[in-house]
Each structure stands twice: as structure tokens, then as C-alpha cells.
Amino acid sequence: MNYNYVIGLDYGTDSVRAVLMDTAGGKELASSVFYYPRWAAGQYCDAENQRFRQHPLDYVEGLTTTIKDVLEKAGPDAAGYVRGISVDTTGSTPVAVDETGTPLALKPGFEQNPNAMFVLWKDHTSIQEAARINEVAAQQQINYLQYVGGIYSTEWFWAKLLHVLRTDEQIRPYIYSWVEHCDWIPFLLTGGTDIKNLKRGVCSAGHKSLYAAEFGGLPPNSFFTAIDPLLDGFSDRLFDRTYTASEAVGTLSQQWADKLGLSTDVVIGIGAFDCHMGAVGAEIEPYMLSKIIGTSTCDIMVVPQSEMNGIQVSGICGQVPGSVIPGMVGLEAGQSAFGDVYAWFKNLLLWPAKNMGLPEEQLEKMEKDLLVKLSIEASKRPVTENSILAVDWLNGRRTPDANQALTAAISGLHLGTDAPEIFRALVEATCFGARAIVERFVSEGIAVKGLIAMGGVAQKSAFIMQTMADVIGMPIKVHRSEQTCATGAAMFAATAAGIFTKVEDAMAAMGQGFDPPYIPDQGRHTLYNKRYAQYQSLGGWVEAQTAGH
């Protein structure tokens, strides 16, 4: 029998996951996870100064390890049936490359330079650069920010490039181009040696790089030189064409075929961001808001292009035709911290245990069980209008209205406050942040017909998901797959390889379905309407204090 297998490769913040899937029915044949060793050791990062960098070797080693592992797990014949590979990554996570497309961290002399590495999505070192982009954009006759919500974020492509150029004179002369992680991995797998031939996905280009067909591509060089002369000429060395994730970059190079044990006939698809492919893996439908919930959240919606009616949604992360599903406009929003909020609180509580010589085995058990225990206890506590209240901006605010300089807050503390109460307030705060995104879409003329949730938090915490349903007042469907991003990548691999004519067909054939939905409790929703107003008031106060500095 002739099988059609595909591999979806999902690069997350802490690890890369590979899944090997049978396109007939979407059965997962094998999966593998590789945790980035340099990242896990905290190398090249400075959390206090919001610098988060990842070495390309973590990515390359993860690619090799996971693909070889899934093929081994699936049996000796599996490699012969693989037809395609597609990749999703975090974003915006760009890197400086030379003319061959090689990241500078892989070049002699720059191996240990953080500025020669991938600038992770949550790196916020470029706040001043983002502010400068917004300042100059406001002076232009053409609004070059109109398709990215009207505000350029420090988490994005151009702000990060400018920061590296401004702060590192040593590396500056060697930066020929600037490439997103999701575009570089397919280039690597196809044996690319000339950056001019690197194919950029419309997903990363439209949502983070200011690419739009209405501008004829990227904004003109004059716009970038007005921001800073250091950007002179960069737009000419980037790209003037983009591709959807349903298209192919090429086929696997001989070098990588030999390394992985695959054929050079294996098709490599155009890359995209994890949340966009994850929405496809979770079987997104028009006007259903798809929430990929992990360390941060990424909220994705698709709307048929014919139904946008000229709407431009302000304060989100962009609206780009074809960035999720060809023929539809992909709209992106999200929260800069979600699971990271809970991780911060967990680490805060565990600080004494970690620094007072507790046995390793006992510490591991505490780390594993703490959030579960907090959730159980928090769910027992009654909530009133006067319960303690939190704002969730521990990593700034992504949407609505990006402002990475914002900080979090907790109000109403007293001597009787305990850890479960604070945890509950943090959970409510992240859910209030999710509600703010829903309300922005609705207020801008985009209907939200329902919510789809996926990712680690959605799979593991009924308490958080029920709270979110109660806060927003909408049912939430949780996708059954534990690997929605990798599954979405596999669906695109199957489409790029020609097994399916369009990605909607791949979704129908390979989708895993949903668990029973979380239904909002109307009594708690009524209470949360009042607490949400308090959250907005407290957030407004925090924002005013930030603006005053």
C-alpha cells in the first residue's frame, strides 16, 4: 500500500515538536519534543532587561533530533512514505544573516554574541525603536501601520532590527538581511545559499514587516531612513513578493535528505507563525476566534475577503489576506503574557524552596503540583465585587493597543490575603485581557461567533477555561489535539505537497475534533461584568502612571 505521510514541525518558546501524520484520517503516527539546551540554561538572555535570544544551533539540533526520532518511532518503512514537511515558529523572531542566508551566530567571531542570534518574540529591548517607528509613521501621508492595527510593537521585525543596528557597531557591517525564523528553516531545509532566493511567507511579512499589496510591497526606503539612517537600503535587500503557507518553497536538499534519512522528493512548505498554523490545526471557521493559549496567547480569526467591507481593526497585530487560509483575511491579536503570568507567580512562591537547599526530588514535586493545588483552592473561594483585583501586563500589553512599557498591578491586598486568592485574581486578569480582545473585534465591526481554545493551558486547566467562559460570556470549544500547531503545519505540508488541493480539505480530512465545550455560568458572568469594569479602571490608572514617566 502507498501511504502519504507528512511532518509538521512546531517551534515553540521552549522546545520544538515534530509530529508524523497519515494524511488519510489524520492519525498521529509519532511525535517528538526537543527542549532547547542553551535556552534552558538561560544562555544569552537577560530577563531583567527584557532581552531574550535563542541560538540557531538550538533550532538546528532540534530539527534533526525530532525528525529522526519520529521516523524511528514509526518504523523502518515510514521515511519512504513522507511527502512533505512544513514549519511553524514563534514570531516575530528574526535574525541577522549574511548574503548566503547564514545567521551570524553561525559565523566565526559571533558565536556568543546575542545580537547575532534570533531575537525571540518576547524580547522587549526595542521599546524606543518601536516608539520611533510610530512617531515617524504618524507624519506620513500614507498610513503604513493601517494593516497592523495602527501601532507598531517592540515585539516586531523592524523595531528589533533597528535596536540591533543601533546598539552593536561590531555586528552592524555584517548584517546583510534580516529573516524571520519561520522563513529561515524552510530555506535551510531546501539548501538555500543565496538570501535573494529566500521565499518569505505572507504571514510573517504582513503581520510584522509592514508588507501590503496596497503599498506595492514594503514601505519605501524613504520611510525607513526617516526613522533612522541606519535602515537605509534594508528594504531593498529584503523581498518584494510573498507566498501563502499552502505553497512550496522547494524540495529537501541532498544534504538534509542524507542527514534525516528522507528522499529529496519531500516537499518543503512555506513557513508561518505558530498561532496561524495552530488555528488551522484547530479547524478554524470564519468568525470563530481561535485562541492558542500558552506562555502568551495568540488570537486568530479568519474572515472571507469579500466580507471585510473596508474594515480596518485598530489596535491588533494585523489583518493580512492569506496569512491563515488563502482567500480569507487573517486577523491576529493576543496577550504578551498568559501562562507566563502563572509561571511568574509559581516561581515567586518557590523562591524560598529553590534557595534554601530543599532536596531536588521534593522541589520537583512542588513545581509539578503547585499550580494544580492553587487552582483547586482558588476554585473554592467565593468571588465578590470587592475581591482582590489584578492587571495582567507582566510582559506589557500586546493587544488591544500595543504598549510593552506597561506593567502589572494587584490591588486590594490585606493581611488576610493568601496565595490562592492572589492566584485567582491573576487568572481573572488574564481572562479579562482575553475579553478585551473580543470586545475590540466586536466594537470594530467584526462579529465573534464563538471561541476555540488550544494549547497547554486549554488542555490542562479546567479552572482557567471555565473562568474565561464566565468572564467573556461565551462557550469555549477546546480542541482535542494536544499538538494543534504541529498538526496545522502537517496540514499545510499535505497541501503544499499536492495531496490536498486546498488547506480546507486537509483540515476536513485530518482534523481531530473537539472536547465538550465550557459553558458560561450566567450568575458569575453578571458578577464578572462588574469586575471587568474595575479591571479597566485599574488598567487605566496603571497606563496613566506609565505615561507620566
d(CA 369, CA 11): 26
The mean per-residue pLDDT over the stretch 353-380 comes to: 91
160 and 224, same structural domain?
Answer: yes
- The answer on pLDDT for 359 being more than 90 is no
Question: What does the pLDDT read at residue 1?
Answer: 65
Number of H helices, E strands in the chain: 17, 21
Question: What does the pLDDT read at residue 549?
Answer: 56
- The answer on pLDDT for 361 being more than 90 is no
Structural domain contains residue 304: no
Confidence of residue 546 (pLDDT cuts 50, 70, 90): confident
438 and 393, same structural domain?
Answer: yes
- Domain carrying residue 256: 5-283+480-510
382 and 493, same structural domain?
Answer: no
Structural domain contains residue 302: no
Structural domain contains residue 257: yes
392 and 246, same structural domain?
Answer: no
Total residue length of the chain: 549
Structural domain contains residue 499: yes
- Look-up of cell digits 509538521: 8
Structural domain contains residue 323: no
The C-alpha cell at 67 is 525528525
229 and 124, same structural domain?
Answer: yes
Question: What does the pLDDT read at residue 144?
Answer: 97
What's at 162, amino acid-wise?
A: L
496 and 371, same structural domain?
Answer: no
Structural domain contains residue 305: no
The CATH number that applies at residue 185 is: 3.30.420.40
pTM score above 0.85: yes
79 and 192, same structural domain?
Answer: yes
CB-CB contact of 455 with 478 (8 Å)? no
For 176-219, the pLDDT digits (tens) are: 999 999 999 999 999 999 999 999 999 999 999 999 999 999 99
For 127-151, the pLDDT digits (tens) are: 999 999 999 999 999 999 999 989 9
221 and 81, same structural domain?
Answer: yes
Total domains in the chain come to: 2
DSSP 315-334: TSS-EEETSSSTTEEEEEEE
Structural domain contains residue 80: yes
493 and 468, same structural domain?
Answer: no
Question: What does the pLDDT read at residue 264?
Answer: 98
Closest CA to 503 of 217, 211, 203, 289: 203
What's at 304, amino acid-wise?
A: P
269 and 163, same structural domain?
Answer: yes
The C-alpha cell at 119 is 531575537
For 420-462, the pLDDT digits (tens) are: 999 999 999 999 999 999 999 999 999 999 999 998 888 889 9
For 220-263, the pLDDT digits (tens) are: 999 999 999 999 999 999 998 999 999 999 999 999 999 999 99
473 and 486, same structural domain?
Answer: no
Q: How many Cβ atoms are within 10 Å of 521's Cβ, its own excluded?
A: 15
Question: What does the pLDDT read at residue 17?
Answer: 97
% pLDDT > 70, the chain? 99
% pLDDT > 90, the chain? 90
543 and 488, same structural domain?
Answer: no
